[in-house]
Structure 1
Amino acid sequence: MSELSIFAIVTIAIIIIIIIAIIGNSLSDRGSQEYERPEARAGREGEYIATNIIRKVLRDEDILLTNVEISYDGRKAELDNVIINKYGVFIIEVKNYAGTIYGKADDYTWIKSKTDPFGNTFTKTVRNPIKQVNRQVYLLAKHLELYGFNVWVEGYAFFVQGNSPVWCKEVLGSLHDIDKAVHTFNRNRLSVSDTEAIKEILLGSYR
Structure 2
Amino acid sequence: MGLLGEKRVANLLKKGLKGEEYRLYRNLILPIETEHQNTPSLTEVDLVLLTHFGIFVIEVKNYSGWIFGAEKQAFWTQQIFAKRTRFKAKL
User: Is TM-score (shorter-chain normalized) higher than 0.5?
Assistant: yes
2:58 to 92, 102, 106: 92
1:112 aligns with 2:78: yes
Cα deviation for residue 53 of structure 1 reads: 1.0
Cα deviation for residue 86 of structure 1 reads: 3.6
Show structure 2 runs of 5+ residues with no match: 34-39
1:128 aligns with 2:85: no
Equivalences, count: 84
Cα deviation for residue 114 of structure 1 reads: 2.8
1:62 to 12, 18, 22: 22
Task: Give CA-to-partner distance per residue, 1:36-80, whole Å, 9 cap, x none.
Answer: xxxxx2x23321221111111224421111111111332322111
Equivalent residues in 2 for 1:153-164 (5 A)? none
1:101 aligns with 2:60: no
Matched AA of 1:70? L
Equivalent residues in 2 for 1:1-207 (5 A)? 41=1, 43-58=2-17, 59-73=19-33, 74-114=40-80, 123-128=84-89, 132=91
Show structure 1 runs of 5+ residues with no match: 1-40, 116-120, 133-207
Q: Please, what TM-score do these two structures have when normalized by structure 1? A: 0.34
Q: Please, what TM-score do these two structures have when normalized by structure 2? A: 0.68
**RMSD value over aligned CA atoms?**
2.5
Percent identity reads: 29
